[in-house]
């Protein structure tokens, strides 16, 4: 089956063509399109999505060597996301589906991330655990099959990617925060500053606002007058800060592997690009005897290939959706239930 997927939940516009598990095209505006529209930094604008979506669709179909008539199914992100941004990709996709008489599948963006490992040659095996980490999300979920998910925990404040970005800003490092913290941290001592790792009432929840504040206080203590911090100090701070975030993510993932004994564990979302996190993740997973699946960079950030994949999977599982479906900014997964520490 051939699926055409659309993603426009936030800054990125993306269109992808998939034939079953195989990506035929996966175009992302900030990476593939900046030459045409000038601007590498994703733009927060419905107008930008509107300008990009039609040409991206044409280019994706051409690159895939597929005619619109050959497409079996159309999938689009229905949320969560910004309503103005969502509406553009979603309405465009639904319009195509109605005009071309194709089945239309609304997809939950975060769910699509969980399953993004299936876009790789080495795929997750059910049941698998997914750690989703990005600028907007931090979540640990157990996936039993395509329609049965248990949300084990998530962040109660900042997302991991947000913690990286805000930490970078505190340290005077340029945007994007994650890659620059990682680069600066390579020269630093991760043991130099013992930043906290939050323990929460719910054991699979995360909190990163404490470490963010601890970094800020440490910078205030170390700074004398208006002089900038010494380069070595910034490197030590970055390394210690990164270590604290990575350690928090890994500790809870490890506890979840121990409790639920999944066959595979997948690290997904934009922050999966962080090298120390990938390494610690692979080590921990191997030590527990589970298979680690970390999608390549093009599938870690927001992309439409994962939306198309999820659309196909839902369709294969027999799920059908009305054309009256609308996007929903705070879309909760209809297939995920919450895990409780204290089952009654």
Tell me which residues touch other proteins (CB under 8 A).
10, 44-47, 80-84, 134-136, 154-159, 161-162, 165-166, 169-170, 209, 212-213, 216-217, 329-330
Q: How many CB atoms lie within 10 A of CB 203?
A: 15
Q: Given the complex with other proteins, which of 68 and 156 has the nearer CB atom?
A: 156
Listed in sequence order, the residues at least 6 apart from 16 whose beta carbon sits closer than 8 Å to its beta carbon are: 4, 5, 7, 23, 25, 26, 27, 60, 303, 304, 305, 307, 308
- Shortest Å distance, C-beta 180 to other proteins: 16
Q: Given the complex with other proteins, which of 39 and 95 has the nearer CB atom?
A: 39
Q: How far apart are CA 68 and CA 182, in angstroms?
A: 42
| Burial status of residue 290 (CB atoms within 10 A of its CB: 0-12, 13-18, 19 or more) | buried
Q: What tokens were used for 107?
A: 């997809």
- Shortest Å distance, C-beta 34 to other proteins: 17
- Shortest Å distance, C-beta 93 to other proteins: 20
Q: What tokens were used for 243?
A: 């270590």
Helices (H), 198-333: 209-222, 231-260, 275-287, 297-300, 304-316
The tally of CA atoms less than 13 A away on the side-chain side of residue 224 is 2
Q: Given the complex with other proteins, which of 156 and 222 has the nearer CB atom?
A: 156
As a residue count, the chain comes to 344
Residues in a beta bridge with 128? 143, 264
- Shortest Å distance, C-beta 21 to other proteins: 29
- Shortest Å distance, C-beta 150 to other proteins: 16
Q: Given the complex with other proteins, which of 209 and 282 has the nearer CB atom?
A: 209
Q: How many CB atoms lie within 10 A of CB 338?
A: 10
Q: Given the complex with other proteins, which of 87 and 308 has the nearer CB atom?
A: 87
- Shortest Å distance, C-beta 228 to other proteins: 17
Q: Given the complex with other proteins, which of 83 and 255 has the nearer CB atom?
A: 83
- Shortest Å distance, C-beta 131 to other proteins: 16
Q: How far apart are CA 11 and CA 118, in angstroms?
A: 24
Q: Which helix (H) or strand (E) holds 14?
A: strand 14-19
The conformation of residue 40, written as its DSSP 8-state character, comes to S
Q: Given the complex with other proteins, which of 157 and 259 has the nearer CB atom?
A: 157
């Amino acid at each position: 089956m051939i699926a055409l997927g659309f993603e426009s939940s936030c800054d990125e516009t993306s269109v992808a063509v998939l034939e079953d598990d195989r990506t035929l095209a996966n175009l992302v505006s900030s990476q593939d399109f900046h030459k045409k529209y000038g601007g590498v930094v994703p733009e927060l604008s419905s107008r930008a999505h509107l300008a990009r979506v039609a040409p991206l669709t044409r280019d994706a179909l051409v690159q895939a060597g597929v005619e619109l008539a050959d497409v079996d199914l159309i999938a689009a992100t229905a949320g969560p996301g910004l309503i103005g941004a969502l509406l553009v990709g979603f309405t465009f996709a639904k319009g195509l589906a109605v005009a071309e008489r194709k089945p239309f599948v609304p997809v939950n963006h975060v769910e699509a991330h969980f399953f993004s490992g299936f876009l790789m040659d080495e795929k997750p095996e059910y049941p698998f655990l997914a750690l989703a980490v990005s600028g907007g999300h931090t979540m640990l979920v157990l996936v039993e099959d395509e329609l049965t998910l248990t949300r084990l925990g998530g962040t109660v404040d900042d997302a991991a990617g947000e913690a990286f970005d805000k930490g970078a800003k505190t340290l005077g490092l340029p945007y994007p925060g994650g890659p620059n913290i990682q680069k600066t941290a390579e020269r630093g001592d991760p043991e130099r500053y013992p930043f906290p790792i939050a323990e929460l009432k719910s054991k699979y929840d995360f909190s990163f606002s404490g470490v963010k504040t601890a970094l800020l206080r440490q910078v205030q203590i170390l700074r004398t007058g208006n002089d900038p911090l010494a380069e070595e100090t910034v490197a030590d701070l970055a390394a210690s800060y990164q270590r604290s975030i990575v350690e928090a993510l890994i500790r809870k993932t490890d506890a979840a592997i121990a409790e639920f004994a999944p066959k595979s564990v997948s690290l997904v979302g934009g922050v999966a690009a962080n090298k120390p996190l990938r390494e610690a993740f692979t080590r921990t997973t191997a030590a527990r005897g589970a298979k680690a699946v970390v999608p390549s960079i093009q599938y870690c950030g927001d992309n439409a290939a994962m939306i198309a994949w999820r659309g196909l999977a839902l369709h294969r599982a027999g799920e059908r959706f009305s054309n009256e479906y609308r996007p929903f900014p705070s879309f909760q997964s209809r297939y995920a239930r919450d895990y409780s520490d204290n089952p009654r």
